[in-house]
Amino acid sequence: MLKTRNGFIVLIFLIGMLASTRGAQSQEYIVMGTPLVNIRTGPSTDHVIVGRAEKGDIFKVIGKNSDWWEIAMFTADHRYVFSAPYVYTLNKAELVSGHSMELPDSEETKRSLYRSLQEAKTRAKREADEVIPPFVDAERNENFRRIMEDRIILEMLHIYGFQPALYNDLIAEGEKNGW
């Protein structure tokens, strides 16, 4: 009985170690190796194009769905990029200074971008309300608002030359500093 019990405890310990090792794996990213890569709402060309990534854009990988990378953008919705040879993966350790994966040093630049992103959210809501008023179809309005929010924020990040994968870091810093 004692051997079985100790074996069970060791098994539980090993399972826990495996789970913590999997959680400790470094974040995976995809890098766009060509301009104008379509980002879609789902894993097929039948889905709506949310926006177009530029060459060098980096996104956090959420998962893989057949031939499509599932990526994190700016709303709670996951977006998809076709797994083509010009879309390649890197883990955090493989990122180099040329990938521009650091927040800018300038507090003014970060604050300006943060405020522009807040305005982008307001603009997305306004545009969604104009196209599909919430009283006509609240669910479609909300879906359209999220698509527009992802699209407008991506455009803003391109204007500022800011990596999409750093969006959450900037938002967290802005909220912490009360921008």
**Tens-digit pLDDT profile for residues 99-121:** 888 888 899 999 999 999 999 99
Within 20-110, strands assigned E span 28-32, 37-40, 49-53, 58-65, 68-72, 78-82, 87-91
Confidence of residue 94 (pLDDT cuts 50, 70, 90): confident
Q: Which two tokens stand for residue 153?
A: 């924020």
- The pLDDT score that the predictor gives to residue 126 is 97
Region 76-82: what's the mean pLDDT?
A: 95
pLDDT > 90 in the chain, percent: 72
Which amino acid makes up residue 130? E
Tell me which residue of 2, 14, 80 sits closest to 45, measured CA to CA: 80
The model's pLDDT over 3-33, given as tens digits with 9 standing for 90+, comes to 555 544 444 444 444 443 344 457 899 999 9
Tokens encoding 9: 């405890």
pTM: 0.82
Q: In this prediction, what percent of the chain has a pLDDT beyond 70?
A: 85
Q: Which of 167, 56, 66 is CA-nearest to residue 120?
A: 167
Is pLDDT of 155 > 90?
Answer: yes
Please give the pLDDT value at position 4. 54
Give the residue-averaged pLDDT of 149-176. Answer: 95
List the alpha helices (DSSP H) in 40-132.
107-131
pLDDT (0 to 100) of residue 98: 77
Q: Which of 16-25, 39-48, 81-90, 101-110 has the lowest mean pLDDT?
A: 16-25
Q: What DSSP designation does 27 have?
A: P
pLDDT (0 to 100) of residue 3: 55
Q: Please, what is the average pLDDT of the chain?
A: 87
Q: Average the pLDDT over 172-178 and give the result.
A: 94
- Which has more confidence, 13 or 73? 73
